[in-house]
Structure 1
Amino acid sequence: MGKPTESNESLTVRDERTGKTYTIPIVNNTIQATAFKQIKAQPKPGEREENETERGLRVADRGFMNTAVIESTITYIDGDNGILRYRGYPIEQLAESSSFLEVAYLLIYGALPSTRQFDLFEHEVMTHSIAHVDTEGFFHSFRYDAHPMAILTSAFAALGSYYAEANPSLQGQALFTKSDPASLANMDKQIYRLIGKATTLAAMAYRVRQGRDFVVPPVGMSYTESFLYQLDHLGEGDYRPNPVLSKALDVLFLLHADHELNASATTVLQTGSSLVDPYSAISTGCASLYGPLHGGANEAVIRMLISIGKPENVPAFLEAVKRREKVLSGFGHRVYKTSDPRSFIVRRTADEVFKVTGKDELLETAMKLHDMALKDDYFVSRKLAPNVDFWSGLIYRAMGFPLDFFPVLFAVPRVVGWLAHWRQMMLQPGGVKIWRPRQIYLGAGKREYVPIDKRKEEGGKEPSKVLHTGQGKRTQLATFKGKTKL
Structure 2
Amino acid sequence: MPESVTITDNRSGDSVEIPIVDGGVDAGAWKKLLGNVWFADVGFTQTAATQSAITELDGDAGILRYRGYPIEQLAEKSTYLEVAYLLIYGELPTPEQYEAWKHEITYHTFIHENVRKRFMEGFHYDAHPMGMLVSAVAALSTFYPESKNITDEQVRDKQIVRLIAKMPTLAAGCHRFSVGMPFVYPDNALDFSSNFLSMMWKIAEPHYRPDPVLSRALDVLFILHADHEQNCGTTAMRIAGSSHTDPYSATAAATAALYGPRHGGANEAVIKMLTEIGSIDNVDAYVASVKEGKGRLQGFGHRVYKNFDPRATIIKTIAHDVFEVTGKNPLLDIALKLEEVALADDYFISRKLYP
Check if 1:239 corresponds to 2:208: yes
Whether 2:188 is the aligned partner of 1:207: answer no
The 5 A counterparts of 1:358-373 are 358-373=327-342
Offset from partner CA, 1:8-51 (integer Å, 9 cap, x none): 522112211112222222212211122212224xxxxxxxxxxx
Displacement of 1:230: 1.4
Tell whether 2:119 aligns with 1:138.
yes
> In the aligned structure 2, how far is the partner of 1:202 from the partner of 1:65?
31
How many residues are paired up? 354
Residue 243 of structure 2 corresponds to 274
How far apart in 2 are the matches of 1:285 and 1:84? 21
Structure 2 match to 1:19? 13
Cα deviation code 1:38-70 (max 9, x no counterpart): 224xxxxxxxxxxxxxx4322111110100000
Q: Give the equivalent residue in structure 2 for 1:298.
A: 267
Aligned mates of 1:191, 1:9 — CA distance in 2? 39
**CA distance in 1: counterparts of 2:283 and 2:177, whole angstroms:** 38
Q: Distance in 2 between matches of 1:310 and 1:209?
A: 27
Q: Which residue number corresponds to residue 257 of structure 2?
A: 288
- CA RMSD across the alignment: 1.3
How far 1:151 moved relative to its partner? 0.4
Residues 2, 19 of structure 2: 8 Å contact kept: no
What secondary structure does 2:6 align onto?
strand
Match of 2:42 among 41, 59, 62: 62
Q: In the alignment, what sits opposite 2:223?
A: 254
Task: Write the mapping of 1:29-40 to structure 2, written as runs, cut at 5 A.
Answer: 29-40=23-34
**Structure 1 spans left out of the alignment, 5+ residues:** 1-6, 41-54, 169-174, 177-182, 387-486
Q: Which residue of 2 aligns with 1:153?
A: 134
Q: How is 1:40-439 mapped onto 2 (pairs within 5 angstroms)?
A: 40=34, 55-136=35-116, 137-168=118-149, 175-176=150-151, 183-386=152-355
- Runs of 4+ aligned structure 1 residues displaced above 3 Å come to 210-213
The share of aligned pairs that are identical, in percent, is 51
TM-score (norm 1): 0.71
Q: In the aligned structure 2, how far is the partner of 1:336 from the partner of 1:239? A: 39
CA distance, structure 2, for counterparts of residue 254 and residue 91 of structure 1: 8
Contact 2:82–2:98 (CA under 8 A) maintained in structure 1: yes
Contact 1:142-1:151 within 8 A present in 2 as well: yes
Q: CA deviation at 1:272?
A: 0.4
- Is the contact made by 1:75 and 1:259 (CA closer than 8 Å) also made in structure 2? yes
Q: What TM-score, normalized to structure 2? A: 0.97
Gaps of 5+ in 2: none
Say whether the 8 Å CA contact 2:86–2:92 is kept in structure 1: yes
Report how far residue 256 of structure 1 moved: 0.8
Which amino acid is the alignment partner of residue 281 of structure 2?
Answer: E
Q: Given that residues 55 and 66 in structure 2 are in contact (C-alpha distance below 8 angstroms), is that contact kept between their aligned partners in structure 1?
A: yes
Contact 1:38/1:57 (<8 A) preserved: no
1:38–1:56 Cα contact (<8 Å) kept: no
CA distance in structure 2 between the aligned counterparts of 1:330 and 1:257, rounded to whole angstroms: 19
CA shift digits 1:231-267 (9 cap, x unpaired): 2223322321222211111111111111110000110
Letter in 2 for 1:198: M
